[in-house]
């Protein structure tokens, strides 16, 4: 029987990094953006919108990782039991 | 690079920006530690145990190249020459990447070689192998040093950090994760880096376009600017090539950049090919450069367009473009635009993206250097037939040694004027003759062992000769011109010398060439499986390859 390689799936790493970035930028965009910041980016609240975009990217990778988990074939398991990464 | 306009480019980075940068470093090092658990042999360390899926290797394939030269240089070209810069992507990368995947990968991956030099050893024996392995190893540590220096220079410019300190810190981070996790850590970080760069550049492009009044505003401002409307179209790129005649300029782009330089770089540079060799199957290996070609086709929009915008909205860049003395150089286009448009928060992401790209470039150099050093130099010529743990240890030590030499090179590069010229010179020395030799090697079974090394040596000397003549002023070739001509000369000399030497020497016995030469490799060995993870029409390398070529042609028509 094959098992899932749970801990180190690159897609989850990407999802977590962009979840952190997304939340931080969203909070900054919503709560800590003054007139000077807005004027600099030509009136766009770029932190807010980038945050939303990053959260969307994070969600896509998380969904992909959950829906299509990495399956480690049993045959390779014997030799790589303690080192099964990827 | 002259140290100018420090104050103008100093970014207003705050605690928030540094925090975002620190978060990224935690992830980068974390990947190194996690990847370490999957390293139990030298093949795991140096070639990821040939286990990675195609989307990972495909993104790593272009990320490995998305380093210092790419980001700063291409944004600079965008600011100076406009849309013609897209040729470095659409003509200068895509066709070669598709060619690598469809035509050459069956021999690279199918022959189970562990490096590009190893292919030459199996095909020609020791002469050509030693020439290529040494020249590659030397070039990689030199380029790693140049990348390190560029990174430190940028940090100094943007954040005011001392150059020697930045060199050492950046080298220490790269060394930590590549020495721990090997190629897997390098590749995983390259994929992460790809998304961080896009996350940095896409918002920058959007804000920039908003600022100039959308695409229409961009067109209007460039048309009314010093460059004129021709900077909005990719062809015939007379400014970029320096060739006045439009027809000759197009020929120069297609053959000089598109054929000789680009095929030499993308199809034989082990730092690139290594990413495909680490894929988990023949199908995934063939798809690696082709999957990479899709983002490669689109990424100029977030690199070149910010460059063009920088020359429209940053006052110092506008002055430079108008031919005035302004204290900035075109290479500053991207950092200058970031400082002009991004508030704290996105500023941190942008700084992280730039740093990520530089470090991934260095990691690609180091992780390909250690493989060639371990398998092609140490195992073949110094200590044969040791147990695998021995070579794993050599690989780790080579990683450390390579990084230390690169730090030295970084300080050497500090003395050189133009980083781009320096690297181009190296490429034309080593890469241009390689493509000629590989094409003959794979498709002409008669080619002899002596022709293998003789062609490489003669071609390299040809490139060096052009470089020297241009340096002392015998040939008058400004900027990139010497590299283009040097690469062309190297290619031609390699072909001629290889053919002539082959005629006078004995061919390699045919039974040794199975799997290495087209006409001697059974058709089944060149085919990839189409079951399991390789099933489905959307995983067909040919279909994907044709698709990206068609899309690139369409883009050329739209932006022509």
Q: How far apart are CA B320 and CA B8, in angstroms?
A: 14
Q: Residues of chain B with pLDDT > 70: what percent?
A: 91
Partner-chain contact B34 A8, CB within 8 Å: yes
Asked if residue B265 has pLDDT above 80, the reply is: yes
Q: Do A37 and B343 touch (CB under 8 A)?
A: yes
Distances (CA, A) of B548 to B56, B70, B325, B398, B476: 18, 21, 42, 38, 38
Task: For B24, name the nearest residue in chain A, comparing CA atoms only.
Answer: A17
Predicted confidence band of residue B24 (pLDDT cuts 50, 70, 90): very high
B 336-355 → A contacts, CB under 8 A: 340-346, 349
* Alpha-carbon distance A1 to nearest alpha carbon in chain B (angstroms): 16
Q: Is B20 in CB contact (< 8 Å) with chain A?
A: yes
Give chain A positions within 8 Å (CB) of B40.
80, 83
pLDDT score of B239: 67
- pLDDT score of B422: 63
User: Which residues from chain A sit within 8 angstroms of residue B203, using beta carbons?
Assistant: 46, 49-50, 53
Contact between B515 and B525 under an 8 Å Cβ cutoff? The reply is: yes
Residues B278-317 pLDDT 10s: 888 888 899 999 999 999 999 999 999 998 898 888 887 8
Calculate the alpha carbon distances from A32 to A22, A25, A35, A53, B23 in Å: 15, 10, 10, 18, 20
**What's the rounded Cα separation, in Å, for the pair A37 and A39?**
5
| Two structure tokens written together for A35 | 């007139």
Query: What is the Cα gyration radius of chain A?
Result: 19
Cross-chain Cβ contact A13/B37 below 8 Å: no
Which strand (E) or helix (H) includes residue B530? none
Which residues from chain B sit within 8 angstroms of residue A34, using beta carbons?
none
**Whole-model pTM?**
0.87
Residue B8's pLDDT is 62
B51 and A21: CB-CB below 8 Å? no
Q: What is the pLDDT of residue B86?
A: 85
Tokens of B411: 């300080």
Tens digit of each residue's pLDDT (9 = 90 or more) over A17-42? 999 999 999 998 888 877 777 777 77
ipTM of this complex > 0.90?
Answer: no
Q: What is the mean pLDDT of residues A54-79?
A: 75
Non-local CB neighbours of A74 within 8 Å, separated by 6+ positions: A1, A2, A3
CB contacts of B50 in chain A (<8 Å) are none
The residues, any chain, with a CB within 8 Å of residue A28's CB and separated by 6 or more, are A47, A51, B16, B344, B345
Rg (CA), chain B: 23
The string of pLDDT tens digits covering residues B466-519 is: 888 877 877 766 555 666 777 788 889 999 999 999 988 888 888 887 888 887
Q: Specify the pLDDT at position B320.
A: 79
pLDDT at B414 exceeding the cut of 90 = no
Is pLDDT larger for residue B316 or for residue A66? A66
Q: Which residue in chain A has the smallest CA separation from B33?
A: A8
Give A36's contacts in chain B (Cβ within 8 Å): 343
Chain-chain contact of B184 with A85 (C-beta, under 8 angstroms): yes
CA distance B260 to B99: 13
Q: Could you tell me the CA-to-CA distances from A19 to A65, B17, B34, B489 in Å, in that order?
A: 14, 16, 20, 51
Q: Could you tell me what percent of chain B has a pLDDT over 90?
A: 13
Report how far Cα B466 is from the mean position of its chain's Cα atoms. 23
How far apart (Å, rounded) are the C-alpha atoms in residues B195 and A18? 9
How far the first Cα of chain B sits from its last, in Å, is 33
Tell if the CB–CB gap between B34 and A28 is shorter than 8 Å.
Answer: no
**Residue B298: how many other CB atoms lie within 10 Å:** 12
Average pLDDT for chain B: 83
Mutation pick from A6, A50, A79 vs chain B, by most beta carbons of B within 10 Å, is: A50
């Amino acid at each position: 029987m094959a098992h899932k390689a749970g801990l180190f799936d690159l897609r989850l790493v990407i999802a977590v990094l962009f979840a952190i970035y997304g939340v931080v930028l969203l909070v900054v965009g919503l709560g800590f953006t003054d007139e000077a910041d807005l004027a600099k980016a030509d009136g766009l609240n770029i932190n807010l919108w980038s945050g939303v975009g990053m959260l969307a990217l994070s969600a896509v990778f998380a969904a992909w990782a959950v829906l299509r988990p990495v399956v480690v074939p049993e045959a390779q398991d014997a030799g790589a039991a303690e080192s099964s990464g990827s | 690079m002259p140290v100018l306009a420090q104050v103008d480019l100093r970014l207003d980075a705050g605690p928030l920006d540094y925090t975002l940068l620190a978060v990224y470093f935690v992830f980068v090092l974390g990947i190194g530690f996690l990847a370490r658990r999957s390293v139990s042999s030298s093949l795991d360390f140096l070639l990821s145990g040939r286990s990675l899926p195609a989307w990972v290797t495909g993104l790593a394939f272009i990320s490995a190249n998305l380093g210092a030269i790419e980001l700063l240089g291409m944004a600079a070209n965008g600011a100076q020459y406009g849309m013609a810069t897209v040729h470095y992507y659409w003509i200068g990368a895509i066709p070669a990447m598709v060619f690598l995947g469809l035509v050459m990968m069956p021999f690279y991956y199918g022959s189970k070689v562990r490096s590009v030099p190893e292919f030459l050893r199996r095909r020609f024996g020791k002469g050509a192998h030693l020439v290529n392995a040494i020249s590659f190893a030397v070039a990689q540590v030199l380029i790693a040093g140049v990348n390190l220096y560029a990174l430190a220079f940028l940090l100094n410019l943007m954040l005011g950090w001392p150059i020697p300190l930045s060199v050492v810190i950046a080298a220490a981070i790269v060394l930590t994760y590549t020495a721990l996790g090997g190629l897997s850590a390098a590749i995983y970080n390259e994929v992460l880096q790809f998304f961080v760069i896009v996350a940095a550049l896409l918002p920058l492009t959007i804000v920039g376009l908003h600022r100039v009044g959308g695409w229409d505003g961009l067109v209007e401002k460039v048309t009314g600017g010093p460059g004129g409307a021709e900077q909005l179209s990719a062809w015939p790129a007379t400014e970029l090539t320096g060739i006045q005649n439009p027809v000759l300029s197009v020929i120069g782009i297609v053959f000089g950049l598109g054929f000789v330089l680009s095929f030499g770089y993308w199809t034989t540079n082990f730092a690139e090919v290594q990413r495909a060799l680490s894929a988990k199957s023949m199908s995934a290996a063939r798809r690696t450069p082709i999957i990479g070609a899709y983002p490669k086709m689109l990424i100029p929009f977030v690199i070149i367009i910010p460059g063009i915008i920088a020359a429209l909205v940053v006052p110092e860049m506008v002055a430079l473009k108008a031919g005035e003395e302004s204290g900035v150089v075109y290479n500053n286009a991207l950092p200058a635009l970031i400082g002009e448009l991004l508030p704290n928060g996105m500023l941190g992401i942008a700084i992280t993206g730039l740093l990520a790209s530089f470090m991934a470039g260095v990691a690609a150099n180091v992780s390909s250097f250690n493989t060639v050093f371990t398998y092609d130099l140490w195992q073949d010529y110094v200590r044969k037939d040791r147990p695998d743990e021995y070579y794993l240890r050599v690989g780790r030590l080579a990683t450390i040694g390579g990084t230390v030499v690169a730090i030295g090179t970084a300080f050497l590069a500090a003395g050189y004027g133009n980083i781009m010229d320096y690297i181009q010179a190296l490429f034309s020395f080593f890469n241009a003759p390689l493509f000629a030799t590989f094409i003959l090697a794979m498709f002409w079974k008669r080619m002899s062992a002596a022709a293998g090394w003789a062609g490489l040596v003669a071609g390299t000397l040809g490139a060096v000769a052009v470089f020297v003549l241009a340096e002392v002023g015998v040939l008058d070739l400004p900027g990139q011109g010497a590299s283009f001509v040097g690469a062309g000369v190297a290619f031609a000399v390699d072909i001629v010398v290889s053919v002539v030497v082959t005629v006078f020497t004995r061919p390699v016995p045919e039974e040794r060439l199975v799997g290495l030469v087209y006409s001697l490799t059974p058709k089944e060995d060149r085919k990839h499986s189409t079951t399991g993870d390789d099933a489905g029409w959307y995983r067909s390398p040919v279909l994907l390859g044709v698709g990206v070529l068609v899309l690139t042609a369409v883009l050329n028509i739209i932006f022509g």
